[in-house]
Amino acid sequence: MRFKIYITIVFFFILSKSDGQTSPSLILTKDGIKEIRQGLGRVALFDQTLATVQLEVDAEIEKGIDVPVPKDLAGGYTHEQHKTNFFTLQKAGVLFQITGDERYAVYIKDMLYAYLELYPDLDRHPAERSYARGKLFWQCLNDANWLVYVSQAYDCIYEWLSEEDRQALNDGLFKPMADFLSIETPQFFNRIHNHSTWGNAAVGMIGLVIDDQELVDRALYGARSVSVKAGAVDNDGGSIVAQDQEMGFLAQINHAFSPDGYYTEGPYYQRYAMYPFLIFAEALSNKRPDLKILAYKDSVLIKGVYALLNQTNSAGEFFPINDSQKGMSLASRELVNAVSMAYHYGSQDLSLLSVIASQGRVPLNDAGFDAAKAIGEGLARPFIKPSIELSDGANGDEGAIGILRGGDLTLVMKYAKHGMGHGHFDRLGFMLYDETGEVIQDYGSARWVNIEHKDGGGYLKENHSWAKETVAHNALVVNKDSHFDGKVKEADKTSGTPYYFAAGQSVRIVSAKETRAYDDVEMHRTMAMVDLEELEHPLVIDLLSVQARAETRYDLPLYYVGEFMSSNQQLQTNNDLTPMGKESGYQHLWAEAQADLTGDLYSMTWFNKKRFYTLTSVIQSGDQMIMTRIGANDPNFNLRRDPGLIHRRTGVNTVFASLYEIHGSYDYSTERPLNLFTSIADLKVLHQSAEYVVVRFQLNSGEEYQLAFSLKDDSESSQHAVKSAKGQCTWQGVYEFKKIK
Amino acid sequence: MRFKIYITIVFFFILSKSDGQTSPSLILTKDGIKEIRQGLGRVALFDQTLATVQLEVDAEIEKGIDVPVPKDLAGGYTHEQHKTNFFTLQKAGVLFQITGDERYAVYIKDMLYAYLELYPDLDRHPAERSYARGKLFWQCLNDANWLVYVSQAYDCIYEWLSEEDRQALNDGLFKPMADFLSIETPQFFNRIHNHSTWGNAAVGMIGLVIDDQELVDRALYGARSVSVKAGAVDNDGGSIVAQDQEMGFLAQINHAFSPDGYYTEGPYYQRYAMYPFLIFAEALSNKRPDLKILAYKDSVLIKGVYALLNQTNSAGEFFPINDSQKGMSLASRELVNAVSMAYHYGSQDLSLLSVIASQGRVPLNDAGFDAAKAIGEGLARPFIKPSIELSDGANGDEGAIGILRGGDLTLVMKYAKHGMGHGHFDRLGFMLYDETGEVIQDYGSARWVNIEHKDGGGYLKENHSWAKETVAHNALVVNKDSHFDGKVKEADKTSGTPYYFAAGQSVRIVSAKETRAYDDVEMHRTMAMVDLEELEHPLVIDLLSVQARAETRYDLPLYYVGEFMSSNQQLQTNNDLTPMGKESGYQHLWAEAQADLTGDLYSMTWFNKKRFYTLTSVIQSGDQMIMTRIGANDPNFNLRRDPGLIHRRTGVNTVFASLYEIHGSYDYSTERPLNLFTSIADLKVLHQSAEYVVVRFQLNSGEEYQLAFSLKDDSESSQHAVKSAKGQCTWQGVYEFKKIK
- Look at residue A242 in the predicted model and tell me its pLDDT: 55
> Could you give the percent of chain B with pLDDT greater than 90?
88
- Look at residue B11 in the predicted model and tell me its pLDDT: 43
* Length of chain A measured in residues: 741
Q: Is the pLDDT of residue A690 over 70?
A: yes
Residue type, position A338, single letter: A
B452 and B333 both lie in a single domain = no
Q: At CB < 8 A and 24+ separation, what contacts does A172-176 make?
A: A172/A116, A172/A119, A172/A120, A173/A112, A173/A115, A173/A116, A173/A119, A173/A120, A174/A147, A174/A206, A174/A209, A174/A210, A175/A206, A175/A210, A175/A212, A175/A215, A176/A119, A176/A120
Which residues in chain B are contacts of A331 at CB distance < 8 A?
A: 669
* Length of chain B measured in residues: 741
Q: At CB < 8 A and 24+ separation, what contacts does A13-22 make?
A: A13/A99, A13/A100, A13/A101, A14/A100, A17/A100, A18/A100, A21/A159, A22/A159
> Could you give the percent of chain A with pLDDT greater than 70?
96
Q: How many other CB atoms are there within 10 angstroms of residue A649's CB atom?
A: 19
B340 within domain boundaries: yes
When the pLDDT of each residue in chain A is averaged and rounded to a whole number, the result is 94
A544 and A405 both lie in a single domain = yes
Domain boundary among A367, A385, A403: A385
When the pLDDT of each residue in chain B is averaged and rounded to a whole number, the result is 94
A222 within domain boundaries: no
Q: Is the pLDDT of residue B351 over 50?
A: yes
pLDDT of A468-516, one tens digit each? Answer: 999 999 999 999 999 999 999 999 999 999 999 999 999 999 999 999 9
Mean pLDDT of B314-339: 96
A518 and A659 both lie in a single domain = yes
d(CA A692, CA A686): 10
- Look at residue A725 in the predicted model and tell me its pLDDT: 84
Segments in A504-627 forming alpha helices (H): none
Domain boundary among B680, B700, B717: B680
Mean pLDDT of B269-297: 92
Chain A interface includes B561 (CB < 8 A): no
B342 within domain boundaries: yes
Residue type, position A279, single letter: I
d(CA A740, CA A730): 13
Chain B interface includes A332 (CB < 8 A): yes
A368 and A471 both lie in a single domain = no
Chain A interface includes B582 (CB < 8 A): no
Which residues in chain B are contacts of A677 at CB distance < 8 A?
A: 452-453
- Indicate which residues of B carry an active-site annotation: 269, 422
A245 within domain boundaries: no
B611 and B520 both lie in a single domain = yes
- Look at residue A192 in the predicted model and tell me its pLDDT: 85
CATH number reported for the structural domain that contains residue A175 in this entry: 1.50.10.100
Q: How many other CB atoms are there within 10 angstroms of residue A585's CB atom?
A: 28
Q: Do B332 and A632 touch (CB under 8 A)?
A: no
pLDDT tier at B238 (50, 70, 90 boundaries)? Answer: low
A70 and A187 both lie in a single domain = yes
Please give, one letter per residue, the 3-state secondary structure of A54-101: HHHHHHHHHHCCCCCCCCCCCCCHHHHHHHHHHHHHHHHHHHHHHHCC
B490 within domain boundaries: yes
CB A704 within 8 A of CB A741: yes
Q: Is the pLDDT of residue A664 over 80?
A: yes
pLDDT of A77-99, one tens digit each? Answer: 999 999 999 999 999 999 999 99
Which residues in chain B are contacts of A333 at CB distance < 8 A?
A: 669-670
Helix (H/G/I), strand (E/B), else coil: A439: strand
Q: Is the pLDDT of residue B622 over 90?
A: yes
Mean pLDDT of A283-306: 93
CB B89 within 8 A of CB B111: yes
CB B615 within 8 A of CB B659: yes
Q: Is the pLDDT of residue B20 over 60?
A: no
B492 and B523 both lie in a single domain = yes
pLDDT of B139-163, one tens digit each? Answer: 999 999 999 999 999 999 999 999 9
Mean pLDDT of A412-435: 96
CB A678 within 8 A of CB A616: yes
Closest residue in B to A673 (Cα–Cα): B451
Q: Which range (A258-262, A529-533, B241-245) has the least confidence?
A: B241-245
Mean pLDDT of A24-37: 90
B252 within domain boundaries: no
- Look at residue A647 in the predicted model and tell me its pLDDT: 98
CB A232 within 8 A of CB A132: no
Chain B interface includes A56 (CB < 8 A): no
* Alpha carbon of A265: minimum distance to chain B alpha carbons (Å): 18
Mean pLDDT of B67-74: 93
- Indicate which residues of A carry an active-site annotation: 269, 422
Domain boundary among B680, B714, B733: B680
pLDDT tier at B536 (50, 70, 90 boundaries)? Answer: very high
pLDDT of A139-187, one tens digit each? Answer: 999 999 999 999 999 999 999 999 999 999 999 999 999 999 999 999 9
> Could you give the percent of chain B with pLDDT greater than 70?
96
Q: Is the pLDDT of residue A42 over 90?
A: yes
The ipTM value here is: 0.91
DSSP letter at A230 equals T
Segments in B22-76 forming alpha helices (H): 30-39, 44-63
User: For A632, which of B575, B637, B643 is closest by C-beta distance?
Assistant: B575
pLDDT tier at A10 (50, 70, 90 boundaries)? Answer: very low
User: For B333, which of A577, A641, A670 is closest by C-beta distance?
Assistant: A670
Question: Which contiguous run of DSSP H or E holds residue A661?
Answer: strand A654-663
B372 within domain boundaries: yes
Higher pLDDT, residue A303 or A18: A303
- Look at residue B226 in the predicted model and tell me its pLDDT: 85
CB A227 within 8 A of CB A190: yes
Q: Is the pLDDT of residue A126 over 50?
A: yes
Q: Which one, of A463, A442, A441, A444, lies nearest residue A454 by Cα?
A: A463
A215 within domain boundaries: no
pLDDT tier at B25 (50, 70, 90 boundaries)? Answer: confident
pLDDT tier at A652 (50, 70, 90 boundaries)? Answer: very high
Mean pLDDT of B620-627: 98
A96 and A167 both lie in a single domain = yes
User: For B450, which of A327, A672, A677 is closest by C-beta distance?
Assistant: A672
Q: Do B449 and A671 touch (CB under 8 A)?
A: yes
CB B369 within 8 A of CB B46: yes
- Look at residue B726 in the predicted model and tell me its pLDDT: 87
pLDDT of B635-683, one tens digit each? Answer: 999 999 999 999 999 999 999 999 999 999 999 999 989 999 999 999 9
A373 and A481 both lie in a single domain = no
B357 and B483 both lie in a single domain = no
Q: Which range (A211-215, A390-394, B285-289, B554-558) has the least confidence?
A: B285-289
Structural domain count, chain B: 2
- Look at residue B290 in the predicted model and tell me its pLDDT: 92
- Look at residue A707 in the predicted model and tell me its pLDDT: 98
Chain A interface includes B592 (CB < 8 A): yes
CATH number reported for the structural domain that contains residue A454 in this entry: 2.70.98.70
A380 and A468 both lie in a single domain = no
Helix (H/G/I), strand (E/B), else coil: A564: strand
pLDDT tier at A15 (50, 70, 90 boundaries)? Answer: very low
Q: Domain range spanning residue B367?
A: 265-270+286-385
Mean pLDDT of B612-627: 98
pLDDT tier at B242 (50, 70, 90 boundaries)? Answer: low
- Look at residue A364 in the predicted model and tell me its pLDDT: 95
B380 and B407 both lie in a single domain = no
Could you give phi then psi for residue A578, rounded to 5 degrees?
-135, 155
Q: Is the pLDDT of residue A657 over 70?
A: yes
